[in-house]
Amino acid sequence: MTENKHLHEVAITAIIANAEGKFLIIRRSPTKKRFPNMWTVPGGKLETDDYLKLKKDTEFYWYNVLERTLRREVKEEVGLDIDNIEYLTSLATVHEDGSPSLVISCVADYAGGEVTLQEGETDKFAWVALNEAKGHNLIDGIYDELVLAENQRIRRKRAEWSRS
């Protein structure tokens, strides 16, 4: 584990819903170090270039850094444009190599494009209804996030993540 207790890898993911109410899931490439061949949702890591090369929005800060990062990651990973990004939940883990990660999970609307998978990152995709998602080898916790996203999508009471 890193000696700096304030240093975390930050990632952000998108549960993307289309007009039919289906969610995009992707299968991680068999060559991925973490969770190979498992199904998940698009996303990726925050990089300092996501803001350092931009003009600050105020004297001291860049705003909407996570939203810009998520749009970039989704475009790179699956070729889609997204809109209406909303916070869903967050999670933290310490990977086998000892590096701590914070993941911010969001929901977003499909805004355009055709699914084009990034070689080496993912090898399959599917648009699934909630009941169809269980038929895939999802990373633990992703199905529960889909349930939370479905509840948020149909405007039921918004809640924190829990095991479904």
SS3 for 5? coil
Q: How far is CA 86 from the centre of its chain?
A: 12
Which residues lie closer than 8 Å to 106 by C-beta, 6 or more apart?
12, 13, 14, 15, 66, 70, 85, 86, 87, 88
pLDDT at 159: 58
Count of Cβ atoms closer than 10 Å to residue 50 Cβ: 19
pLDDT in 10s for each residue of the chain, 164 residues = 556 776 788 999 999 999 999 999 999 999 988 899 999 999 999 988 888 888 998 999 989 999 999 999 999 999 999 999 999 999 999 988 888 999 999 999 999 999 999 999 999 999 999 999 999 999 999 999 999 999 888 775 555 666 67
Residue with structure tokens 């070729």? 79
From CA 27, how far away is CA 36, in angstroms rounded? Answer: 8
Fold classification of 9-153 (topology level): Nucleoside Triphosphate Pyrophosphohydrolase (3.90.79)
Q: Phi and psi dihedrals of 62, rounded to 5?
A: -100, 135
List the chain domain ranges: 9-153
pTM of the model: 0.88
Which residue, among 72, 98, 97, has the nearest Cα to 11 in the 3D structure? Answer: 72
